[in-house]
Chains A and B, each alone.
Chain A
Amino acid sequence: PAITVLYSISFSFQQRIEIHKLRQGDNLILGFSIGGGIDQDPTQNPFSEDKTDKGIYVTRVTEGGPAEVAGLQIGDKIMQVNGWDMTMVTHDQARKRLTKRNEEVVRLLVTRQSLQKAVQQSMMS
């Protein structure tokens, strides 16, 4: 009998994503939603591996928006925004750092549990 060995490596790697903001009326939007922060309840985060992780996570990505175009995916954890650390900020601070009026481009450093998903997807297909 053939021996099937299943590798299930799950590691997270970091990716740099550059998003160009889109102007909509008076606002510059990025096209995704964030959740998390040190003042929030980490146990309700559906995307985090570790339920004590209080980092900022991407909870929704709007279709066709700048974030999706740049490659941001739902469930990503945002580590840095333009060099500013996002692992120990409150929700409001995170929002402010992302929505600075004088910045057109934001460069994010994100982390993603992507390889495991790739394996699962390939097995299903």
Chain B
Amino acid sequence: KIESLKVTVDFLKVPLGLKKPPLKEALAAVPGPGRPKPFGVERHKPRRSDTMDNESQYSGYSYKSGHSRSSRKHRDRRDRHRSKSRDGSRGDKSVTIQAPGEPLLDNESTRGDERDDNWGETTTVVTGTSEHSISHDDITRITKDMEDSAHLDCSRHLGVSLAGALALLAFLTPLAFMLLPQLLWREELEPCGTPCEGLFISVAFKLLILLLGSWALFFRRPKAFFPRVFVFRALLMVLVFLLVVSYWLFYGVRILDSRDRNYQGVVQYAVSLVDALLFVHYLAVVLLELRQLQPQFTLKAVRSADGASRFYNVGHLSIQRAAVWILENYYHDFPVYNPALLNLPKSVLSKKMSGFKVYSLGEDNTTNNSTGQSRAVIAAAARRRDNSHNEYYYEEAEHERRVRKRRARLVVAVEEAFTHIKRLQEEDQKNPREIMDPREAAQAIFASMARAMQKYLRTTKQQPYHTMESILQHLEFCITHDMTPKVREGHSERYLTAGPTIQYHKDRWLAKQWTLVSEEPVTNGLKDGVVFVLKRQDFSLVVSTKKIPFFKLSEEFVDPKSHKFVMRLQSETSV
């Protein structure tokens, strides 16, 4: 929760516009009767959203400055635009805090044609909440979630620290084995010459190798927190523990108690422990790393909201590890989830639902045959001639045409903008005032393509994903690396196609919100036909497993001399 709040605070920084009329800013900031719109203009009220949780009624109105010409149109269109991207506290339904970065462009206009284009005017802070206010129950639930997560962190740290302690113990045990006789009964020990020295060297190097191997294998930043214990790791820990304990037992009984004098034997005992530890490390490598490399299953991941799907090949993994694997690939394979693209335009859907009334004639007994009635209604509705598909088709065609027109304008504007600057060659003599660093160069050429960019992003409903800051940064990046303004590669590619989620700002990732839903225990291995769901607040990824088929390859030898050909004619034979 704290994190999400912090995130919203970061988001709603005041945008840096190119021309920001400070007077209007001041006007907007002053609450009072002096302003033309009675609603209240919260144009940039970043702090306000923090307290959003406690406010009960906030319908999804967007606040605009009163100076915008088309504010009336906005208010009419506002009701259509319901689906906002929700980035909010975990698990709760009542409060959704819209965090669109800096919505530089107007979030709402689904059909913006001629609008005023001053950046500063149309910046909005849009918040959407549902009808319920946040109540006491929700607060307790949220705090309980926080406590649970705190518990989870504790258990994870417990696991890690336990493993660390065990590893340390295992590492120091051979050294202890060799040192203890020296310390305790040094005088009685038989002198042990060359073989012991050789053994000492081998112990030293084996321990070093073990150390390096453990560092490589285990000391990596965990990429995910698993809901359940990792079975193989637990197994290995138990194995190491048993090994060390049994060695200590024997050592204590046979050597410490009886004060064995054969030092070489003791050193060899220690060396055998180190060997055993190395083999356990080998087992760890095989179990943790190698076993899952060979692909055994094909996972199909389907996004429930818009049907985008991908296939992945994985080896033997447990369900939770497979889930993390899928998520890692989700972030760079799936195009970003844009809820604005999903809805059919309202005009198409609104005509569908005119209800049928059902009358029952002549029956006195009011047996409430509701299913029969509803079935009749559905059947009648299905038979009725319905032309909404027509409208949908024309709507789509119109939208497509509009997008293409705007895209053409954008491409031309970008190309032209890029011709205004060039890299400074060493031999050019320019006075220092004219030399710009990439940031300034980006700002300089941004103005000429800003309008086209804004219109295009608005038409393709991508404007929540690209704030002005990110656009400028990308421009700066492209200028620095001499990228072409061309459509496919280079600069515009980022805007013309919806890219994978990881390309956008970290706030779009929402990486902490995933929940794994599965009918089988998540530490079970994958099997053919297993289905699990990775849920997020606004959609879910349904993953189903299929075993890769067993291929039976047979061999056929083809003699290179057997390739012969004839002309394909119409032959005529006389009989």
Q: Are B575 and A30 in contact (CB under 8 A)?
A: yes
Q: Are A99 and B572 in contact (CB under 8 A)?
A: no
**Given A33-B575, A35-B571, A99-B575, 14 further pairs, Cβ under 8 A:** A29-B574, A32-B574, A33-B572, A34-B573, A34-B574, A35-B573, A40-B568, A41-B568, A41-B569, A41-B570, A44-B570, A45-B570, A59-B572, A95-B573
Residues of A within 8 A of B569 (CB): 40-41, 44
Q: Does chain B have a CB within 8 A of A36?
A: yes
Residues of B within 8 A of A41 (CB): 568-570
Q: Does chain B have a CB within 8 A of A98?
A: yes
Residues of A within 8 A of B573 (CB): 33-35, 91, 95
Residue on A with the closest CB to B570? A44
Q: Does chain B have a CB within 8 A of A60?
A: yes
- Total interface residues on B, using CB and 8 Å? 8
Q: For residue A105, give the distance in angstroms from its CB to the closest CB of chain B.
A: 14
Most chain B beta-carbon neighbours within 10 Å: one of A32, A35, A98: A35
- In Å, the complex CA distance between A83 and B512 comes to 78
Cross-chain contact of B575 among A29, A40, A44, A45 (Cβ < 8 A): A29
Q: For residue A118, give the distance in angstroms from its CB to the closest CB of chain B.
A: 26
Q: Are B574 and A33 in contact (CB under 8 A)?
A: yes
Q: For residue B76, give the distance in angstroms from its CB to the closest CB of chain A.
A: 62
Q: Are B570 and A35 in contact (CB under 8 A)?
A: yes
Q: Mark A71-94, 1 if CB is under 8 A from B, else 0.
A: 000000000000000000001000
Residues of A within 8 A of B571 (CB): 35, 40, 91
Cross-chain contact of A32 among B568, B570, B575 (Cβ < 8 A): B575
Q: Are B570 and A60 in contact (CB under 8 A)?
A: no
Q: Are B572 and A60 in contact (CB under 8 A)?
A: yes
- In Å, the complex CA distance between A32 and B575 comes to 6
| B interface with A by C-beta (< 8 Å) | 568-575
Q: For residue A121, give the distance in angstroms from its CB to the closest CB of chain B.
A: 26
- In Å, the complex CA distance between A44 and B572 comes to 12
Q: Are A36 and B570 in contact (CB under 8 A)?
A: yes
- In Å, the complex CA distance between A35 and B569 comes to 10
Q: Mark A1-39, 1 if CB is under 8 A from B, else 0.
A: 000000000000000000000000000011011111000
- In Å, the complex CA distance between A98 and B573 comes to 11
Q: For residue B198, give the distance in angstroms from its CB to the closest CB of chain A.
A: 80
Residues of B within 8 A of A59 (CB): 572
Residues of B within 8 A of A36 (CB): 570
Residues of B within 8 A of A60 (CB): 572, 574
Residues of B within 8 A of A99 (CB): 575
Q: For residue B569, give the distance in angstroms from its CB to the closest CB of chain A.
A: 7
Most chain A beta-carbon neighbours within 10 Å: one of B568, B573, B575: B575
Q: Are B572 and A35 in contact (CB under 8 A)?
A: yes
Residue on B with the closest CB to A33? B574
Residues of A within 8 A of B574 (CB): 29, 32-34, 60, 62
Q: List 26 A-B contacts (CB under 8 A).
A: A29-B574, A29-B575, A30-B575, A32-B575, A33-B572, A33-B574, A33-B575, A34-B573, A34-B574, A35-B573, A36-B570, A40-B568, A40-B570, A40-B571, A41-B568, A41-B569, A44-B569, A44-B570, A45-B570, A59-B572, A60-B572, A60-B574, A62-B574, A91-B573, A95-B575, A98-B575
Residues of A within 8 A of B570 (CB): 35-36, 40-41, 44-45
Q: For residue B575, give the distance in angstroms from its CB to the closest CB of chain A.
A: 5
- In Å, the complex CA distance between A99 and B573 comes to 11
Residue on B with the closest CB to A46? B570
Q: Which of A82-125 contact B (CB under 8 A)?
A: 91, 95, 98-99
- In Å, the complex CA distance between A122 and B570 comes to 32
- In Å, the complex CA distance between A35 and B572 comes to 5
Residues of B within 8 A of A29 (CB): 574-575
- In Å, the complex CA distance between A30 and B573 comes to 12
Q: For residue A78, give the distance in angstroms from its CB to the closest CB of chain B.
A: 11
- In Å, the complex CA distance between A35 and B574 comes to 9
Residues of A within 8 A of B568 (CB): 40-41
Residues of A within 8 A of B572 (CB): 33-35, 59-60
- In Å, the complex CA distance between A59 and B573 comes to 9
Residue on A with the closest CB to B567? A41
- In Å, the complex CA distance between A91 and B570 comes to 9
Q: For residue B570, give the distance in angstroms from its CB to the closest CB of chain A.
A: 4
- In Å, the complex CA distance between A36 and B569 comes to 10
Q: For residue A104, give the distance in angstroms from its CB to the closest CB of chain B.
A: 14
Residue on B with the closest CB to A35? B572
- In Å, the complex CA distance between A35 and B575 comes to 11
Most chain A beta-carbon neighbours within 10 Å: one of B568, B569, B570, B572: B570
Residue on A with the closest CB to B573? A95
- In Å, the complex CA distance between A36 and B575 comes to 14
Q: For residue B303, give the distance in angstroms from its CB to the closest CB of chain A.
A: 46
- In Å, the complex CA distance between A1 and B568 comes to 54
- In Å, the complex CA distance between A30 and B575 comes to 6
Residue on B with the closest CB to A29? B575
Q: For residue B565, give the distance in angstroms from its CB to the closest CB of chain A.
A: 13
